[in-house]
Amino acid sequence: MNPNAGRHLVALLLMIILLFIGFVSWFIIALTTSSALLGISTLVFFILLIIGVILWSLKRVKIKYLLFALLGISLSYAAIFVGYEVHRSYIANIPTINDGEVDLREYQPFREGTKVVLLNEESLLTLTTQDSLPRIDGATALYPLYSAFVRATYPQKEYNLYNSEVNGGTTPEAFRRLIEGEVDIIFCAAPSKKQIEEAKEMGKTFNLTPIGREAFVFFVNKENPVRDITCDQIRQIYSGKITNWRDVGGKNEAIKAFQRPEGSGSQSMLERIMGDTPLMKPLQNDRVGGMGGIIDRTAQYKNFSNAIGYTFLFFATGMVKNEQIALLKVDGVYPDRNTIANNTYPFVGDFYAITTDTKNENVERFIEWILSPQGQYLVEKTGYTPINKE
């Protein structure tokens, strides 16, 4: 019998075990992180272990030297892993500005202690349980407003955020549900070109009724010295032509320009601001999805010292209330109620009650009431600018 057979058999078993553990480790890391360095380091670590086993089986290296080498490799990998976890923890603790920060349950219409604005008199429109209640949905930032409409006019009961006549979702999902006939009205900013095309493909046309006005704002980390920016500079930043804060009066630091997911109300607004200027590819996070494919997702805003982001005024100041950011003046004008009302702030737009081909007879009554003094009172008291404010 070959005296080395036992050594080769042990080596073979060790390599099989290492291959299995290495593949499982790489797969878990790929699913749970977006770090290419950690994934590559894991592969290299196990490859070096397997090479070491092969050299041992061929008697090309003494066991004590092999053990020292493996110890060094293991310590190096451990240092990389610990460094990654420390960095990930640091990144995770940087404040964000995104829809997930807001607990919409706090704005449910009949929740005890709800944050929605209450009408200061009896509503002139009352929809009873015998009526066909309009099914509604809308943008996250507008949920506090249309929840206030519901509080004033709908029968009192619990309206589940995700499965009732009054849903609290996101702009892309609201448009999808409206197109597919799952809801009668949505409250959103104007649809994107893609959403208009999707509606046409289904044989539907959006009917937009302006119900209020809002400012589209840009913000930076409060430690960023830049406080004023021009319309043209914004377009150059988001087209990728301006890449350093020093070019707009700030520090010598690369600009990290975050965007929102396609189809969101704020992303559609940015696209309208850009006009014919091409929008650069957004910052992305990637993750391995089903069947091993890479899924790219638009990175959510992280309040790095060199970051810039955007949203709507009420969302930033009324719902999120993040004290670590600073809103920017645009062309010397600060976004607030007054500059929205007098149209001096350059990025002001209407938001709408949007319908398609609903047959619900109460939809028209509901929209008419929203445009009445009572509905516009709730628009203003919630934190928006009424459409008919003089």
**Residue 260 and residue 342 share a domain:** yes
**Residue 124 and residue 104 share a domain:** yes
What is the pLDDT, as a whole number, of residue 77?
66
Q: In the chain, how many domains are there?
A: 3
141-174 pLDDT, tens per residue?
899 999 999 999 999 999 999 889 999 888 999 9
**Residue 312 and residue 241 share a domain:** yes
Average pLDDT over residues 112-141: 91
Question: How would you class 9 by CB atoms within 10 Å of its CB: exposed for 0-12, middle for 13-18, buried for 19 or more?
Answer: exposed
CATH number of the domain encompassing residue 281: 3.40.190.10
| The pLDDT of residue 335 is above 50 | yes
**Residue 344 and residue 218 share a domain:** yes
* Helix, strand or coil, per DSSP, at residue 256: strand
The strand pair at 136-138 and 185-189 is best described as parallel
Final residue before a domain boundary, out of 65, 92, 119: 92
What is the pLDDT, as a whole number, of residue 253?
94
Averaged pLDDT of the chain? 83
Most confident of 4-8, 62-66, 161-165: 161-165
| The pLDDT of residue 113 is above 60 | yes
| Domain of residue 161, residue span | 100-213+353-386
Final residue before a domain boundary, out of 92, 119, 154: 92
Confidence of residue 297 (pLDDT cuts 50, 70, 90): low
**Residue 219 and residue 107 share a domain:** no
**Residue 164 and residue 269 share a domain:** no
**Residue 242 and residue 125 share a domain:** no
- Distance, CA of 99 to CA of 88 (rounded, Å): 21
Q: Taking the model in full, what pTM does it have?
A: 0.73
